[in-house]
């Protein structure tokens, strides 16, 4: 359903070039008339994700996802169509009118109320920290080395150890009980009364990139468990979409961001003058957080702890950031200390030196190989060198490759020529593989008569040919007279396709153009992907007239067969 007028939706679509939008999420390479990259919707090693700049379509030959810029944002950001329109309107500087859908208006009002409640809660927690009730919490923060200035900058607070002190305050301030529950600040007890989620904890407000308080984290003052509790997912908050401290770090004069694990790490780093530190909310970095990092930094430094969980988080972070084309380095803190602990013991200057010495992604991967295959025996050395050769095939910079080969050669007693030869052999093998992948066979344009398309699950052959007909007519508007006469809109067996045919035929009858990339904005992702799939893989004909005749003949036969079964 469209919540905004069609002309506004089309203005937003035309104002957001698909190549530019996709490039903010993945690395694209120009090949021929299109752009290709690794699909963000499924794992793959060979690029099968195609962006067509002229028609403003994207399509993946691997997972069959496709659509226009709205579908891309909906799928990659996991948002609804109205939210995708809003995001792209913001990007293009277009002011949207109030949506005409009542349900959507209610959602907007609820989100606004939740943000207001969160803001009131943050102020309440901050005031409690400065009161008699917060003395113990304030001492805890002072003992952790925090100053009043940094406490105020991050808006830290305290939730008194009382059952409903915040809820009672918010109700008194005029907030509805439903809003307080939806914000995650309280739950309803068995008695029907509200119970505060955070009690007896230091409070860390979580801000979005615009500076709105969207959630909270709470830490106990002793060693009791759970040490931390956090806001649940709400209409305003998803932990996979936010980064703690980014609203401040984005203002840093540095062109880099340091990502660490905890709230206290970020706050200590900012106090130490390292104002480009952020934290993922939960150990593993998500793709959405990775894209935020890329948007605000030229370089991302991973500074997770060195324990098992931290190493896994580093590996995950490398995978996510490398996939979207970030320049990545890895911070190595000695003795397994976290940043907060290291700074308190050694001071900020020594930590800044660690940042300057952060190792490249390649060096980190080589270090992992060293730990996996100790060089104290022949088998270990051979496995290590084979692993290095694999890594070097992924390095595009010849100078970086040369430096590593020289270093490894000297350390492991192997000639540079031998290592070069092995890397070259693997590169040629990799190139041969790429040339024979499914991607290259899939993107070959089909010619001649219409071929029988493969069916999706639960889709009958007549519906499939109807999609082919509409996709072909969208490309070749001039052929609609023949189609409209032999297969009118009323003949379409699928309701959505019947509606699409009616619009297409009416537009072409009146001398207007029908643009598929505009029309699919109305459709759900699955339906749009199906139409793009057919348009891209079955409708590139050398002789469109013959293909149309073939499709119409098949549809007429299928229609007759269905009518016979009925009677």
Q: What is the DSSP string of 343-387?
A: HHHH-HHHHHHHHHTPEEHHHHHHHHHHHHS-TTSHHHHHHHHHH
Residue 286: partners with Cβ closer than 8 Å, 6 or more residues away? 240, 241, 280, 320
**Nearest CA to 29 among 289, 342, 325?**
325
**Nearest CA to 57 among 22, 86, 28?**
22
CB 367 within 8 A of CB 359: yes
Mean pLDDT of the residues in the chain = 87
Residues in a beta bridge with 401? none
**Nearest CA to 261 among 357, 196, 331, 363?**
331
pLDDT at position 395, please?
83
Bridge-based pairing of strands 201-207 and 277-280 is unpaired
What sign results for the dihedral spanned by CA atoms 407, 411, 416, 419?
A: negative
Q: Strand ranges (DSSP E) for 32-143? A: 34-37, 49-52, 57-60, 66-67
**Nearest-angstrom CA–CA distance, 359 and 186:** 44
Return the DSSP state at 236.
Answer: T
Token pair, residue 89, equals: 């309107």
Q: How far is CA 473 from CA 33, 84, 252, 257, 478, in A?
A: 22, 28, 52, 49, 8
**Nearest-angstrom CA–CA distance, 221 and 531:** 57
Q: How far apart are the first and last CA of the chain?
A: 37
Looking at 374-521, list the stretches that DSSP marks H as alpha helix, in order from N- to C-terminal side: 378-392, 398-412, 416-435, 438-442, 461-475, 480-486, 495-509, 516-519
Query: Apex CA 90: angle with CA 85 and CA 95, to 5°?
Result: 85
Residue 135: partners with Cβ closer than 8 Å, 6 or more residues away? none
> Tokens 């905004």 map to which residue?
4
**Nearest-angstrom CA–CA distance, 302 and 311:** 10
- Omega before residue 226 within 30° of 0, cis: yes
Residue numbers of the chain with a pLDDT score lower than 50:
1, 437-455, 457
Q: Which helix (H) or strand (E) holds 90?
A: helix 81-92
Return the DSSP state at 284.
Answer: S
pLDDT at position 2, please?
52
Cα-to-chain-centroid distance, residue 370: 32
**Nearest-angstrom CA–CA distance, 39 and 62:** 8
Three-state DSSP class for residue 218:
strand
* Tens-digit pLDDT profile for residues 123-141: 999 999 999 999 999 999 9
Phi and psi of 186, rounded to 5°? -150, 160
**Nearest-angstrom CA–CA distance, 164 and 384:** 59
Cα-to-chain-centroid distance, residue 535: 27
Phi-psi bin for 78: left (phi > 0), alpha (psi -120 to 50), beta? left
Q: Lay out the sheet containing 49-52: strands in order across.
A: 29-31, 34-37, 49-52, 57-60, 66-67
pLDDT at position 436, please?
57
Cα-to-chain-centroid distance, residue 129: 36
Look at the pTM and tell me if it is higher than 0.75.
no
Token pair, residue 537, equals: 């893989």
Cα-to-chain-centroid distance, residue 243: 13
CB 25 within 8 A of CB 76: yes
* Other Cβ atoms closer than 10 A to 547: 25
pLDDT at position 288, please?
79
Residue 45: partners with Cβ closer than 8 Å, 6 or more residues away? 38
> Tokens 């749009």 map to which residue?
528
CB burial readout 305-326, b (16+ within 10 A) else e: bbeeebeebbbbbbebbebbbb
pLDDT at position 131, please?
97
CB 333 within 8 A of CB 352: no
What sign results for the dihedral spanned by CA atoms 293, 297, 298, 300?
A: negative
pLDDT at position 278, please?
97
Q: How many residues are given for the chain?
A: 567
3-state helix, strand, coil in the chain (%, to 5): 55, 10, 35
């Amino acid at each position: 359903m469209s919540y905004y007028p069609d002309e506004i939706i089309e203005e937003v679509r035309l104002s957001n070039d698909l190549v530019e939008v996709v490039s903010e999420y993945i690395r694209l390479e120009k090949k021929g008339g299109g752009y290709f990259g690794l699909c963000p919707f499924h794992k793959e090693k060979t690029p099968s994700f195609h962006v067509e700049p002229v028609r403003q379509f994207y399509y993946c030959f691997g997972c069959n996802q496709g659509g226009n810029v709205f579908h891309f944002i909906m799928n990659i950001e996991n948002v609804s169509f109205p939210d995708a329109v809003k995001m792209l309107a913001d990007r293009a500087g277009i002011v949207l009118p109030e949506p005409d859908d009542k349900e959507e208006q209610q959602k907007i009002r609820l989100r606004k109320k939740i943000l207001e409640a969160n803001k009131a809660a943050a102020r309440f927690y901050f005031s409690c920290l400065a009161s008699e009730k917060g003395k113990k919490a304030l001492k805890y923060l002072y003992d952790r080395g925090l100053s009043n200035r940094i406490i105020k900058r991050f808006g830290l607070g305290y939730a008194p150890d009382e059952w409903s002190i915040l809820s009672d305050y918010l109700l008194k301030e005029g907030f509805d009980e439903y809003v307080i529950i939806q914000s995650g600040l309280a739950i309803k007890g068995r008695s029907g009364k509200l119970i505060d989620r955070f009690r007896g904890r230091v409070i860390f407000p979580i801000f979005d990139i615009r500076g709105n308080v969207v959630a909270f984290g709470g830490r106990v003052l002793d060693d009791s468990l759970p040490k931390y509790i956090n806001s649940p997912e709400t209409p305003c908050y998803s932990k996979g979409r936010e980064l703690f401290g980014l609203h401040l770090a984005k203002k840093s004069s540095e062109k880099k961001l340091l990502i660490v694990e905890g709230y206290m790490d970020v706050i200590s780093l900012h106090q130490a003058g390292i104002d480009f530190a952020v934290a993922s909310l939960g150990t593993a970095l998500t793709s959405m957080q990775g894209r935020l990092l890329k948007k605000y930094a030229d370089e991302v430094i991973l500074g997770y702890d060195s324990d098992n969980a931290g190493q896994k988080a580093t590996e995950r972070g490398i995978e996510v950031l490398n996939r979207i084309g970030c320049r990545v380095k890895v911070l190595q803190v000695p003795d397994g200390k976290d940043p907060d602990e290291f700074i308190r013991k050694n001071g900020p200057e020594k930590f800044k030196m660690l940042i300057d010495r952060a190792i490249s992604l390649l060096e980190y991967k080589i270090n992992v190989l060293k730990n996996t295959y100790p060089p104290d025996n022949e088998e270990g050395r051979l496995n290590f060198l084979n692993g290095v050769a694999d890594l070097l095939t992924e390095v595009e910079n010849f100078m970086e490759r040369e430096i590593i080969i020289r270093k490894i050669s000297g350390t492991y007693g192997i000639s540079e020529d031998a290592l070069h030869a092995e890397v070259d052999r693997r590169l040629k093998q990799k190139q041969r593989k790429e040339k024979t992948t499914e991607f290259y066979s899939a993107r070959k344009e089909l010619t001649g008569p219409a071929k029988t398309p493969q069916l999706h699950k639960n889709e009958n052959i007549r519906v499939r040919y109807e999609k082919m007909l509409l996709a072909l007519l969208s490309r070749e508007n001039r052929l609609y007279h023949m189609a409209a006469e032999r297969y009118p809109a009323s003949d379409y067996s699928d309701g959505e396709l019947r509606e699409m045919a009616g619009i297409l035929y009416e537009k072409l009858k009146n001398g207007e153009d029908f643009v598929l990339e505009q029309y699919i904005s109305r459709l759900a992702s699955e339906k749009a992907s199906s139409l793009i799939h057919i348009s891209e893989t079955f409708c590139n004909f050398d002789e469109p007239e013959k293909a149309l005749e073939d499709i119409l003949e098949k549809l007429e036969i299928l229609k007759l067969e269905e009518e016979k079964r009925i009677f």
